Structure 1
Amino acid sequence: MYCQNLVFSRHAIQQMFYRRISKKEVEAVIVYGEVIEETPDDTPFPSYLIFDFAEGKPIHVVCSYDESTDTGYVVTAYIPDQNIWSNDFRTRKPRL
């Protein structure tokens, strides 16, 4: 997913700092990553969960996209928990 403008929420910046995920890594995941979940009815804009490896680590980025302004909004970024995600980091494990 590529967008002309990218805006990081305060929450995203805080979580990236806490999780030691750089802006460069998040941008790479958004540009080169795979959309693994879509929420088209999310408001105010459709949202996406994007996965890729950046700097050798798996990263999930949640972002929303305003097509009218070609702006992506980074909601959060995190390293997927292996207790929740399958080994490929693309599918959630069934809840027990």
Structure 2
Amino acid sequence: MDLKTYQTLCADSKIIWTKHCLERMQERDISRADVKNGIATGEIIEDYPDDYPNPSCLIFGHTVNDRILHIVAGCDSINIYIITAYYPDTIKFENDLKTRRKGK
């Protein structure tokens, strides 16, 4: 799946938000607008083509306040399924916050 598909579906509000995801976003003070902006400004940094029930990916983007955000989302070419969103840290990622540390 390419980023343009995610961005187009996002712009058309074809987004499915799971209850679990919305709960985690609330705990982390991440809004729906932050996730939408993250997809619109983002880049795919990890691809998970074999995920079930839909291929998914990790998107590196920015919140509306320009904070770095990671979004894990799946897509079936009709809708985007937001799995989770979080603020990355250097415990699991290198300083660029895009490269996963080895063994983490």
Given the two structures, how large is their TM-score scaled by the length of structure 1?
0.90
1:42 aligns with 2:51: yes
Q: Deviations over 1:65-93 (max 9, x none)?
A: 012xx200000000012111111111011
Question: d(CA) in 2 for partners of 1:86 and 1:9?
Answer: 29
> Larger % of strand: which?
1
Question: d(CA) in 1 for partners of 2:103 and 2:81?
Answer: 29
Amino acid at match of 2:74: S
Match of 1:90 among 86, 98, 101: 98
Aligned-residue identity in percent: 35
SS in structure 2 at match of 1:36 = strand
Report the count of equivalent residues: 94
Structure 2: gaps of 5 or more residues: 1-5
Contact 2:41 2:62 in 1 (8 A): no
Question: d(CA) in 1 for partners of 2:61 and 2:46?
Answer: 13
When the two chains are superposed, the root-mean-square deviation of aligned CA atoms in Å is: 1.3
What is the match of residue 62 of structure 1? Answer: 72
1:60 deviates by: 0.3
In the TM superposition, structure 1's runs of 4+ consecutive aligned residues that sit over 4 Å from their partners are: none
1:31 deviates by: 2.0
> Larger % of helix: which?
2
What is the match of residue 77 of structure 1? Answer: 85
1:26 aligns with 2:32: no
Question: d(CA) in 2 for partners of 1:36 and 1:11?
Answer: 23
SS in structure 2 at match of 1:51 = strand
Given the two structures, how large is their TM-score scaled by the length of structure 2?
0.84
